[in-house]
Amino acid sequence: MSHEPFPTETPAVVTCGLPYANGNIHLGHLRTYVGGDVLARALRTLGQQTAFVSGSDMHGTPIAVNAQQEGISPETFALRWHETYQTTFPRFHIEFDNYGHTHDEVNTALTREIVRDLDARGYIYETEIDVAWDAELDQPLLDRYIEGTCPYCGATARGDECENCGRHLEPGELEQPHSILTDNPATYRTRQHKFFRLTEFEDYLREFIDRLEGTSNAKNQPREWIEHELKDWNITRDLDWGIDYPSDGNDDLVLYVWVDAPIEYIASTKQYSDRVGTATFDWEQAWKQGDGELIHVIGRDIIQHHTVFWPAMLHGVDYTEPRAVMASGFMTLDGEAFSTSRQYAVWVDDYLDAGLDPDLYRYYITTGTGFQQDLNFSWEHFQERVNDELIGTVGNFCYRTLLFAARNYGGTPDEALGIEIRDRIEEACSEFQDGINAYSTREAMNAGIRLARFGNQYLQRHEPWTLTDSDPERAMQVIRGCVQLVKAIAILLEPVMPEKSAQLWEQLGETNSVHTATLDTVLEPPSSEFGELNELFEPISDDRIAALNEQLRAQRTEK
């Protein structure tokens, strides 16, 4: 089975992995959310009907623990961070069509409905397992409270996941487990728990991975698990905070967070559909009728959840399977891991409070390397790319062109568009579309940068400033083509720099919105009259970079 290239006639849903409602967001966290936003905007630029959704992950042990330490309920604690994220994301022009959370009524109801359906179809069973226990505290050791040795790679791992090799760990798999609360060796008690018959989906998952699109790491990493390590999946936990297991009995169990978290993708789409109406976007067509183009944009640490557990659950209840999974590489800061505990991070608020435009960072992380590759951030490299690429290439060409046109012709010259410019713009549009269909937002966005680079070369080659007297008609032809290039650049770069593109669009004198412009409008004649012209970008000085580095050093603690 192969998919039709974008744009298709069926609706697309782009999702981002749910941020855990447990603390502040730093620049490293934003890679996934900017990536999803760029992809959703780019799909719309192609003319693809697209919903962009996500939500806050409200459940799990760390939230319950931190809430207890603050003396408030887990719901109050998580909602506080959820509301923070609702404010933070738009400040970086990350515009979800709907942003919900896993504890809301829609997700709770959908989760229970899907689990009941899986149970009714025979995919869930109950069995006794040995649950890790802290004898001194007389309480179960939930996932984040137990550490030991990963049986697969030998690294130190927590209860449900090994960060070193990325494997999901079932209860009892850790070797030499101990409590991180008391450092005592874990003891075990027998408890009844619910399991999902994941092993029954082995054949389906093999076929699913073969047709899955997206980044290569999202396809290659799960193959070994599916072929050699597939086990039934424990979907309940001994915890008070979460969605109760839907049962007629007295089970003192909640669903594991990785059951209800991805269902939030469906719930959030439903909330969007309910708000705008099914004529605008039909969530059931996307999720329940097999017609949706579902794309998950995630960090690579949760590939297994999105390529093994999640598609099996969807298949078990006859929902639409994902078309693609895009898994990002890790981000480092000056060659070291971001660390919230040691305050070694550039926090989102600090970036914005420094007066830095969010579009600059969006550009930096989107075009610096492939989405699945690791990316190192440094203030010096950020400065270099802004000053050299955005100012030296994009800003330079656009401002020179519009200023020359305004001074000499009062706006766009009244000339026909030349074939060379038309061909180059059409080539850039093909590069943009090919990049999105290859799930390479970097290649798609670089189409606009290459077009600006071509524009600078075109100006230098034809030197219209030398032709205004000797060959005025030719000068008009050159500038007419360059203004068309500026319009195309504004449309092609809108997904990655929406605010800067809107400013450029306004300078062009366009009256509609660049955010709704599609590729089939790039060759439409620009407005004859411009708006107020200004430089798009400001250079970042060495002194400013030195101050930002000093702030990073000053806030860092050693733990």
Q: What is the pLDDT of residues 188-238, one digit of tens each?
A: 888 899 999 999 999 999 999 999 999 999 999 999 889 887 999 999 998
162 marked as binding residue: yes
pLDDT of residue 559: 44
153 marked as binding residue: yes
Residue 545 lies in a domain: no
Residue 542 lies in a domain: no
Residue 365 lies in a domain: no
Q: Within this chain, do residues 246 and 301 fall inside the same structural domain, yes or no?
A: no
Contact (Cβ atoms closer than 8 angstroms) between residue 493 and residue 500: yes
Across the range 446-467, mean pLDDT stands at: 97
Q: How many whole angstroms separate alpha carbon 228 and alpha carbon 278?
A: 43
Q: What are phi and psi of 253, to 5 degrees?
A: -135, 150
- The CATH number of the domain holding residue 459 is 1.10.730.10
pLDDT of residue 558: 54
Torsion on CA atoms 303, 308, 312, 313, rounded to nearest 10: -50
Task: Please state which of the ranges 183-192, 453-462, 489-498 shows the lowest mean pLDDT.
Answer: 183-192
- The CATH number of the domain holding residue 215 is 2.170.220.10
Q: Within this chain, do residues 149 and 171 fall inside the same structural domain, yes or no?
A: yes
482 marked as binding residue: no
pLDDT of residue 164: 78
Q: Within this chain, do residues 90 and 143 fall inside the same structural domain, yes or no?
A: no
Q: Within this chain, do residues 279 and 320 fall inside the same structural domain, yes or no?
A: yes
Q: Which of 221, 254, 287 is the last residue of a domain?
A: 254
Q: How many whole angstroms separate alpha carbon 140 and alpha carbon 238?
A: 7
Q: Within this chain, do residues 304 and 428 fall inside the same structural domain, yes or no?
A: no
Q: Within this chain, do residues 130 and 226 fall inside the same structural domain, yes or no?
A: yes
Range of the domain at 130: 123-254
Give the model's confidence band at 250: pLDDT under 50 very low, under 70 low, under 90 confident, else very high. low
Sort 474 into a burial class: Cβ within 10 Å, 0-12 / 13-18 / 19+: middle
Residue 295 lies in a domain: yes
Residue 354 lies in a domain: no
Task: Please state which of the ranges 46-50, 148-152, 257-261 shows the lowest mean pLDDT.
Answer: 148-152
Nearest to 292 by CA among 49, 107, 98, 541: 49
Query: Residues, the chain, total?
Result: 559
Q: Within this chain, do residues 230 and 266 fall inside the same structural domain, yes or no?
A: no
Give the model's confidence band at 168: pLDDT under 50 very low, under 70 low, under 90 confident, else very high. confident
- The CATH number of the domain holding residue 289 is 3.40.50.620
Q: Within this chain, do residues 309 and 426 fall inside the same structural domain, yes or no?
A: no
What is the tally of structural domains in the chain?
3
Structure tokens at 546: 């030195």
Q: How many whole angstroms separate alpha carbon 488 and alpha carbon 504?
A: 11
150 marked as binding residue: yes
340 marked as binding residue: yes
Sort 542 into a burial class: Cβ within 10 Å, 0-12 / 13-18 / 19+: exposed
Residue 558 lies in a domain: no
Q: How many whole angstroms separate alpha carbon 263 and alpha carbon 227?
A: 26
Residue 535 lies in a domain: no
Across the range 427-441, mean pLDDT stands at: 99
Phi-psi sector, 211: left (phi>0), alpha (psi -120 to 50), beta? alpha
Q: Within this chain, do residues 384 and 498 fall inside the same structural domain, yes or no?
A: yes
Q: Within this chain, do residues 95 and 141 fall inside the same structural domain, yes or no?
A: no
Across the range 531-553, mean pLDDT stands at: 96
**Predicted structure pTM score:** 0.94
Q: Within this chain, do residues 154 and 250 fall inside the same structural domain, yes or no?
A: yes
Residue 300 lies in a domain: yes
Q: Within this chain, do residues 465 and 515 fall inside the same structural domain, yes or no?
A: yes
